[in-house]
Chain A
């Protein structure tokens, strides 16, 4: 009996591994059918690697901080500094590489803070669809959605002191309702499925039904939205920095760099163009990857 059992589980582990491998291969086949998705994936991986290894990759890692080198101010792109130098002689390429760190951190922190409460509220509202709980949660979410996002973020950061943490807080506050909406739509249709009713009849607790029965069926949609949102959050973060309500100097933030460089347009064009292109690069990468994931996971847009 015991040997039979271990036999089954050893056999199963092998089979299970093969099955996972097959699933992954199929997913990759579908994903790679769209060349743009692969480009998105490569961009995202490149940006993440650059951000993580910034101190080793950047030609002048110390230029990320408050360094002044008046012997090398405003140099145009060339052999010494691939993307030129800024008004106080710092290497622009190094600052952009460090800028990716702040952009990614902005995206991760904001989504990390906004998604969990948004998802939980959406699950509850969707499960209790048609009741007062549903109305209360969804109308509360609508209040946040009714205010133009950038205006809300700007007003929050200007009331509090303008720094990168308040900027993240502000963007988080306006971002969670999107997750509530997404999960609400999924959960309200899933709560009619027989497997949810079956768990109810069996006497399963509400947390079990919400997190074990409904949530696993929403994960692929949530995952896709997170990827797409990374791009949008980075843009909003950069916009806040651009108007001076986000990261403050000498933090190397892409939005701040564009704003600073704009003063010197068009003569010192590299100060604006390169950070702006860097923003385009990151956001494009995440959007292409998100679109690809949506195709693979067959998620419908909500």
Chain B
């Protein structure tokens, strides 16, 4: 696989099933990806595609049903996490309103992690908090405010400051901007970019907003019904999506200018709705909606195909190409 040695976080064949009265929900099924130090991996998918479940499994809020998670080359899934590990992986939630305790002041909210992980001596906590506020571009005297007095964007900034306070090497951003208005979104995205450069922290950026992803992610993983369809570098991905589902997604992104329209791949229409995760289609999860469905698609789950060093696609369409390529190269060798 790519970047084997350098990876900060590696997820191998991760599964998370939930048992419900309607049956087993395979929220995350056989998902593998890696995150390098300081990079941003975008995790994209529709609601219900399992991206948040995957994130919650990574931060340890859920125990995986199967599969393994490696962090800094150490297996961490299924065990009680050490303090150090809890410090190293942080999360920023989608809803800033609920992620800050309404009964605590900003000082109390930020003191807890600083004290818990002994980031600075007790006497310097006040100063450290003001520094953190400055980092996330909030005025220093916000230290005395309560969440109720803050706007949504300011709350999210405080949540980011809380995640940053303990110097983590990975922050999971679970749709951090979807609750904000557009001007605030831009500000938060810019802030996150600056912080990444300053602290070399890796992000797993979860979103359903593809145009946002184009601006923030260095690599993108697309999820559909708990499985990954395609992992690619963001530039490649937007230029030439391979999986029929991702082609459909990209062609549905609204654009403003004609130049942008010209850049888009041909329009793909798909039939139907996203199927229920309880009653999953056999084979490839996308086959009932896929315009390029092959015979094999409803029988066999497609395996990972490495198109090149930075790209994997999970689709039977490319199997033939792949086999062809291998055949070509063997021919040449002969």
Contact = CB atoms under 8 A, between A and B. Distances in A.
Q: Tell me if chain B binds chain A.
A: yes
Interface of A: 8, 11-12, 15-16, 193-195, 197-204, 208, 212-213, 216-217, 219
Contacts, number: 60
A193 B91 CA distance: 14
A224 to B, nearest CB: 16
Interface string B89-115: 111011100111111100000001100
Interface residues of chain A: helix, strand, loop or mixed (majority): helix
A219 B89 CA distance: 32
B117 A203 contact: yes
Contacts of B217: none
Contacts of A197: 61, 93
A213 B100 CA distance: 10
A217 B98 CA distance: 12
Contacts of A8: 140-141
Given A8-B141, A11-B141, A16-B144, A201 B99 contact: no
A195 B100 contact: yes
B162 interface: yes
Contact of B93 (A194, A208, A213): A194
B59 interface: yes
Contact of A200 (B61, B90, B159, B166): B61
B98 A194 contact: yes
A203 B59 CA distance: 11
- For the side of the interface on B, what is the size category? 20 to 34
21 contacts: A12-B144, A194-B93, A194-B94, A194-B98, A195-B98, A195-B100, A197-B93, A198-B91, A198-B159, A199-B112, A201-B86, A202-B87, A202-B90, A202-B116, A203-B81, A203-B86, A203-B87, A203-B116, A203-B117, A204-B116, A216-B104
B290 to A, nearest CB: 36
A193 B86 contact: no
A194 B99 contact: yes
B60 interface: yes
Nearest to B81: A203
A218 B314 CA distance: 49
Interface centre among A15, A194, A197 (most CB of B within 10 A): A194
Interface in B103-148: 103-104, 112-113, 116-117, 140-141, 144
A256 B100 CA distance: 52
A175 B98 CA distance: 33
A198 B116 contact: no
B101 A202 contact: no
Contacts of A219: 103
A202 B144 CA distance: 22
Interface in B179-194: none
A199 B110 CA distance: 11
B332 interface: no
Interface string B12-43: 00000000000000000000000000000000
A195 B101 CA distance: 6
A38 B113 CA distance: 43
A202 B86 contact: yes
B99 A195 contact: yes
A264 B116 CA distance: 69
A182 to B, nearest CB: 17
A204 B93 CA distance: 17
A203 B83 contact: yes
A11 B61 CA distance: 41
